[in-house]
Amino acid sequence: MPALASSARFLLKSLADFIFPPICYGCDSEIEAGLVCEACRLDLFTHELAVCPECGRPCTRTAETCGQCEEKFSLTRVRALGLYVPPFDKLVQAFKYSGKTKVGELLGQALAALVRQDEVLSAADAVCPVPLHPARMRERGFNQSLLLAAAISMSTGIPLVEFLVRKKNTPTQTLKTRPKDRRKNLERAFRIKPDAGVDGKTVLLVDDVMTTGATLDQAARELLKGGAASVLGVVIAAAHAGGRPSPS
């Protein structure tokens, strides 16, 4: 009977795959199995943005600076897997808004690989996710940044510590395009936990997407006020990473 049940499940899955073939979450192409096609997997694990030499934000390799250096930034270095374009945007959306946690595991593995090969990030004392407000947590059911941070910690051995709480349920940043509006939206949004033990530590903040950097900046300010020696960052994608082109 167990063998018969196993065969029936296999046949049902084969029939379902024939009628509804698996689709890559990164580019919507048909795949034989898994979550992403080989091209998107290659992008995840080999593509990465550079770091702006002026301010530490993510920067394309063809640009001299990120173009946002005039805006104050509390982190010393932020790495991103790529720009917020396919496949990175579609993978983030599947994970964050459709609850595809298996996609999140894959993204976490890619971030962990990026951290391991970066000498500065891999030397961090703690990995800290950007927290969600409890109301948003109840709505979504999980904190995507925490799942990504856990994957990084498990792969690199850097301790996972939730130093921060989100005390202000801020309106979505999506419709706020100006850096000034995003910063105002996030004022006093984060609080460091009592007896957090952050003093003197280099903290690696983890989030899914960096647009203007306002969220990471506000979280980093709170960590620095609490005594952190420095704050680094890692994200799946950066919405803006181009500026003055490098001289050819």
Tens digit of each residue's pLDDT (9 = 90 or more) over 6-51: 544 544 444 444 446 799 999 999 998 899 999 999 999 999 999 9
Q: Give residue 48's pLDDT.
A: 94
Q: Specify the pTM.
A: 0.86
Concatenated DSSP letters of 36-68: S-HHHHHHHHH---EE-TTT--EE-TTBSS-S-
- For 131-145, how does the pLDDT look when each residue is reduced to its tens digit (9 = 90+)? 999 888 888 899 999
Considering the domain boundaries, does residue 11 fall inside one?
no
- For 111-130, how does the pLDDT look when each residue is reduced to its tens digit (9 = 90+)? 999 999 999 999 999 999 99
Considering the domain boundaries, does residue 88 fall inside one?
yes
Mean pLDDT within 224-241? 94
- Distance CA(93)–CA(128), nearest Å, equals 22
Please give the angle made by the CA atoms of 140, 144 and 147, to the nearest 5 degrees.
125
Q: Which residue has the higher pLDDT, 193 or 9?
A: 193
Considering the domain boundaries, does residue 16 fall inside one?
no
Q: Give residue 9's pLDDT.
A: 53
Q: Average per-residue pLDDT in the chain?
A: 87
Q: Give residue 248's pLDDT.
A: 37
Q: Give residue 137's pLDDT.
A: 86
Least confident of 29-33, 120-124, 160-164, 197-201: 29-33
Q: Give residue 11's pLDDT.
A: 44
pLDDT at 186 over 90: no
Considering the domain boundaries, does residue 144 fall inside one?
yes
Q: How confident is the model at residue 246 (pLDDT cuts 50, 70, 90)?
A: very low
Q: How many CB atoms lie within 10 A of CB 31?
A: 17
Domain count within the chain:
1
Contacts 24+ apart (CB under 8 A), 91-97: 91/25, 91/26, 91/36, 91/40, 91/44, 91/236, 92/208, 92/209, 92/236, 92/237, 94/25, 95/144, 95/208, 96/140, 96/144, 96/208
Please give the angle made by the CA atoms of 177, 105 and 59, to the nearest 5 degrees.
40
Q: Give residue 243's pLDDT.
A: 56
pLDDT at 197 over 60: yes
Q: Give residue 172's pLDDT.
A: 57
Q: Give residue 8's pLDDT.
A: 42
Considering the domain boundaries, does residue 152 fall inside one?
yes
Range of 188's domain?
49-238
Considering the domain boundaries, does residue 7 fall inside one?
no
Considering the domain boundaries, does residue 64 fall inside one?
yes
CATH classification of the domain holding 135: 3.40.50.2020
Considering the domain boundaries, does residue 28 fall inside one?
no
